[in-house]
Chain A
Amino acid sequence: MKKLLVLITLMLAMVFSTATSFASSDPAVTIVNPTDSSTSYSTNLLVSVKITKPKTIRVRVTEEKKKVNDVLYSMSLDELEKAQQAKEEGKPAATVVSVPLGEPETYTTSNNLSFYTKKFEKVTPGVYRIRVETISAGQVIFSSENLVVMKEKEVAATDAKIFNSTQSGTTTFLQNLLKTIFGN
C-alpha cells in the first residue's frame, strides 16, 4: 500500500511538474505583430517576431480559406473557429485550406535580442495565420501562431466627424463677417 501511495505521488508530481509539461511555444520567441485574433484595416501585413536568445526560426504565413465545390473563398474568423470546433467534435465541418503567402523564411540570430520582420503588400481581406517554428538540429522543437483578420479600410471619417462642424461654421461666419468689415 505504501509503495502504491509513493507511486501515485510520484506520478502526480510528474504530471503536474512544469519540468515535464510540454510547452508548444518558445518562451524566447514571441510574435509581437500582429497580435493574436487582432483585426487590421490595411492592405499591408507586417509580421514582427521578437527573439530573446540566439535561435533559428522559420516563419510561414498562410491565408485560411474555405473550399466549396473546389473553389477557395476567403473566410471570417468566426467561420474558421466554427470549422475548427466542429472538426474537434467530429461533426461535419467546412474544408479549410491554408494557402501560403510566399515561401516560408528561415531566420537565424546570434544575439540576445533581435527581431524578424517581414512586410506583405497588397494583402486581400481574409484570415491569415502566422506560424513561427523554432528549429534546432533540423527539427521543429517549438511552434506558436497568431491569427489576424485583414479587412478593407474603414469608411473614411468625415470632416464633420473630426471637427465640430457647427462650431466651425459659426467661427467661419463670424470671421468672414469681421473680414468683410475690416478687410483681410
Chain B
Amino acid sequence: MLKTADRNRIERTKSILLVVLTFSTILLLYFFWGNISPDNWSLIDREEEYETIQAKGLLIPDRMILSQGEDSYRILPEDQWIPFRDGIAEFTGGETLVLEEITEEQYQAVMSLPSVRACFDYGIPLTALAFVNGFESSSVYSGVETVSEIGYGEVSRESLLLRDEPRNKYYRIITTAGPVRLPEFLKRQQQLESPAYFQLGTYLGGEISNDTLIPVFLETDLEPFTLNRENLNQDKEELASVAQAFFGKTFDFVRKIEEGNGTIIYMYGYGQKILISQINGVMEYKEVPVEAGRETGYAESLQIALNYITGHGAFESISGSIYTPALKEARYFPEGKGKYRFHFGLKLGGTILSFPEEDPLIVEVEGGQVVYFRRDISSYDQSVGNGERELREAYSALNVIAENADYFTREMGLAGTFEEVADQIRHMEPCYRILREEDDIAAAAYPAWRIRFDDQEAYFDLYTAEPLGHQKTKGE
C-alpha cells in the first residue's frame, strides 16, 4: 500500500517538474528569440506616459493687431490671445447668438476704429476653433467655413467680427448679452505702450493701398546661431530605441535593411509599416490605413497628430533642444475616409524658424490613424536665448524693401515699378532664416526680415538688409 503511495508521490513530483520545465523552456525561448533582457522583461509593451500637447495650444493666432482708431497700429504680445480668447468665450456663452454676413467695407469700418483682431495665416474651421477652446456650442459656428481673422471693435460692442479670407467673406456674430471682458481687454490694450506700425500704403503716401503693417523702428535681440541635425544611423542603439516607439519593443515581424548610402529602413510585415531613417537625420514613417478606421474631424485629427508627435520625440531634438511648436498649415484631402495633413513649424523665443526645405514636422491623419509622419528636428547651440542680450536696431523695414527693389524684379521675377512690386507684399516680420544644403547636417540660423508675397517669400538680413535667398511659400 505504502509502495503505491510513494509511487504516486513520485509521479506527481515528476508531473510538476515536467510542467515547470516546459514553462522554463517557453520563457527562455521568449528571452532568446525576443532579445529581451530580464531587466526590462514584460509580457505586454507598456505605453510610456507623456504630457500630451493640447490642440488648444496650437490653434493660436499668428499675430494680434490693435487699432487705436488712427493710422497707426500695434502688434500685441503673443500671450494676449488668452485673455482675448476668454473674452470670446464670455461673448459666445449663455446667450442667443445670431450670425450675419456683412460686407468688407463694414468689416474694415469697424476695424479702422479702436479695435483688436486676431489674425491666422491660414483658415481654421470655426467649429474646430470653438470646440478646442471650449466655447459654448452654437449652431452659428457651422455657418462659417473657416476663419482667418476674429475682430472686436469698440463701435459695435455686441458684435464679434469674422473674416474668411480664402472665400473673401465677412461675418458678424451678434449677441443679445452685454459682453464685459472684450471691452475691458480692448481698453486695457489701448493704454499699453509698444512700437507703432503703419500700413505700407501710408509710408508710400497713399499711392497704393497695401495694408501690410511695417514698424517705423524695431529693436530686437535676435542673434545668429548654429543648428545640427542628429544622425541617428551612427548610433544604432539610439536608433533602435527610437524605432521601438513605432514598432513596439519586441520588433516582432520587423525587418531591418541597411542601404549602401547609410539609410536604415525598418519594415513591418510586407510593408504595412515602414520607418526610414536617412543619414541627414530626417525620419519618415508610413503606415497602411486600416479598413475599420472612421473619419475624424479637424480638431480630433489635430489632437491625434499631436498625441502621436508627443509619443515620438515631441518638439524637441534627441539631445534636448526644445522648441515651441507652431501649426503652419492644415490641408484636407476628402478622398476615402478623409485625410488631414498638418504642417508644424518651430519657434525659438517667439520667433519662427524658416527652413528652406520641408517643414520640420508633418503628420497625416486618415480614419483616426496616423498614416504618415516626417520629423526633421535639429539640435541648436544651447547658448541661444541664455542671458541678457543687447537690443539692436533692426534695419529699416521700409528700406529693406526699397533697397532690394531690383532683387524682387531680377531674382524673383516680380514685375512693375517699385510701388507696384511693394503693393504685392502680403506680410513682413522678423524670423530666423535657416540656411543649409538639403542633405547637410550643419545649418546656420540668421536673424532676417521675411517678406511674403502671394506665392513666394524673400529673406534679408535683419541688420544689414543683405539678401538671404527666396523660395516658394509653403502653403501658408
Q: B402–A172 contact, CB under 8 A?
A: no
Residue B411 at the chain A interface, CB threshold 8 Å: no
| CB within 8 Å of A: which B154-196 residues | 154-159, 172, 174, 176, 196
Tell me the complex Cα distance, A40–B216, Å. 18
Residue B206 at the chain A interface, CB threshold 8 Å: yes
Q: A33–B403 contact, CB under 8 A?
A: no
Chain A CB count within 10 A is highest, among B106, B156, B207, for B156
Residue A108 at the chain B interface, CB threshold 8 Å: no
Q: A40–B205 contact, CB under 8 A?
A: no
Contact of A44 among B70, B109, B217 (CB under 8 A): B70
Q: A35–B69 contact, CB under 8 A?
A: no
Over the window 216-238 of chain B, the binary record of Cβ atoms lying under 8 Å from chain A Cβ atoms (1 yes, 0 no) is 11000000000000000000000
Q: B98–A172 contact, CB under 8 A?
A: yes
**A40: B residues at CB distance < 8 A:** 71
Nearest A residue to B139, CB-CB: A184
Q: A157–B203 contact, CB under 8 A?
A: no
**B138: A residues at CB distance < 8 A:** 184
Tell me the complex Cα distance, A107–B178, Å. 52
Tell me the complex Cα distance, A41–B172, Å. 27
Tell me the complex Cα distance, A44–B217, Å. 14
Residue A85 at the chain B interface, CB threshold 8 Å: no
**B20: A residues at CB distance < 8 A:** none
Nearest Cβ on chain B to A51's Cβ, whole angstroms: 9
**B17: A residues at CB distance < 8 A:** none
Contact of B176 among A34, A118, A176 (CB under 8 A): A176
**A117: B residues at CB distance < 8 A:** 203, 216, 396, 398
Q: A153–B70 contact, CB under 8 A?
A: yes
Q: B109–A113 contact, CB under 8 A?
A: no
Contact of A119 among B114, B216, B403, B405 (CB under 8 A): B216
Nearest B residue to A40, CB-CB: B71
| CB within 8 Å of B: which A133-172 residues | 153, 156-159, 162-163, 168, 171-172
Interface size class of A (residues with CB under 8 A): 20 to 34
Nearest A residue to B204, CB-CB: A32
| CB within 8 Å of B: which A35-64 residues | 35, 40-44, 46, 48, 50
Nearest B residue to A31, CB-CB: B205
Given A46-B216, A119-B196; A158-B205 close (CB under 8 Å): no
**B96: A residues at CB distance < 8 A:** 175-176, 179, 184
Q: A159–B71 contact, CB under 8 A?
A: no
**B72: A residues at CB distance < 8 A:** 42, 44, 46, 119
Report the number of A-B residue pairs with Cβ-Cβ less than 8 Å.
104
**B174: A residues at CB distance < 8 A:** 168, 172
Nearest A residue to B158, CB-CB: A159
Q: A156–B396 contact, CB under 8 A?
A: no
Q: B98–A42 contact, CB under 8 A?
A: no
Q: A111–B155 contact, CB under 8 A?
A: no
Q: A113–B405 contact, CB under 8 A?
A: yes
Given A119-B196, A119-B216; A163-B205 close (CB under 8 Å): no
Q: A35–B206 contact, CB under 8 A?
A: yes
Tell me the complex Cα distance, A3–B158, Å. 86
Q: A121–B196 contact, CB under 8 A?
A: yes
Tell me the complex Cα distance, A111–B361, Å. 41
**A171: B residues at CB distance < 8 A:** 98, 100
| CB within 8 Å of A: which B77-125 residues | 96-98, 100, 102, 106, 109-110, 113-114
Q: B106–A162 contact, CB under 8 A?
A: yes
Residue B399 at the chain A interface, CB threshold 8 Å: yes
**A168: B residues at CB distance < 8 A:** 100, 174
Q: A115–B402 contact, CB under 8 A?
A: yes
Contact of B402 among A34, A113, A159 (CB under 8 A): A113
Nearest Cβ on chain A to B234's Cβ, whole angstroms: 49
Q: B155–A175 contact, CB under 8 A?
A: no
**A179: B residues at CB distance < 8 A:** 96
Residue A114 at the chain B interface, CB threshold 8 Å: yes
Nearest Cβ on chain B to A57's Cβ, whole angstroms: 14
Q: B109–A157 contact, CB under 8 A?
A: yes
Q: B156–A111 contact, CB under 8 A?
A: no
| CB within 8 Å of B: which A12-48 residues | 32-35, 40-44, 46, 48
Q: B402–A114 contact, CB under 8 A?
A: yes
Given A156-B113, A162-B106; A111-B70 close (CB under 8 Å): no
Given A46-B202, A162-B109; A115-B399 close (CB under 8 Å): yes
Tell me the complex Cα distance, A156–B172, Å. 19
**B202: A residues at CB distance < 8 A:** 33, 46, 48
**B396: A residues at CB distance < 8 A:** 115, 117
Tell me the complex Cα distance, A48–B216, Å. 10
Residue B198 at the chain A interface, CB threshold 8 Å: yes
Residue B418 at the chain A interface, CB threshold 8 Å: yes
Contact of B71 among A46, A114, A118 (CB under 8 A): A46
**B196: A residues at CB distance < 8 A:** 44, 119, 121
**B69: A residues at CB distance < 8 A:** 153, 156
Given A46-B198, A172-B174; A32-B106 close (CB under 8 Å): no
**A175: B residues at CB distance < 8 A:** 96, 98
Given A48-B203, A113-B403, A171-B98; A163-B398 close (CB under 8 Å): no
**B155: A residues at CB distance < 8 A:** 156-159, 162
Given A33-B202, A119-B217; A163-B70 close (CB under 8 Å): no
Nearest Cβ on chain A to B41's Cβ, whole angstroms: 56
**A50: B residues at CB distance < 8 A:** 204-205
**B398: A residues at CB distance < 8 A:** 48, 115, 117
Enumerate the 3 nearest inter-chain pairs by beta-carbon distance, A residue then B residue, closest first.
A32-B205, A42-B70, A159-B156
Q: What are 8 contact pairs spanning A and B, CB under 8 A?
A: A32-B203, A33-B204, A115-B398, A119-B198, A119-B216, A156-B114, A156-B154, A176-B98
Known contacts A119-B216, A184-B138, then 6 further A-B pairs from the complex at CB < 8 Å, ordered by chain A residue: A33-B203, A35-B205, A46-B216, A50-B204, A163-B102, A176-B98
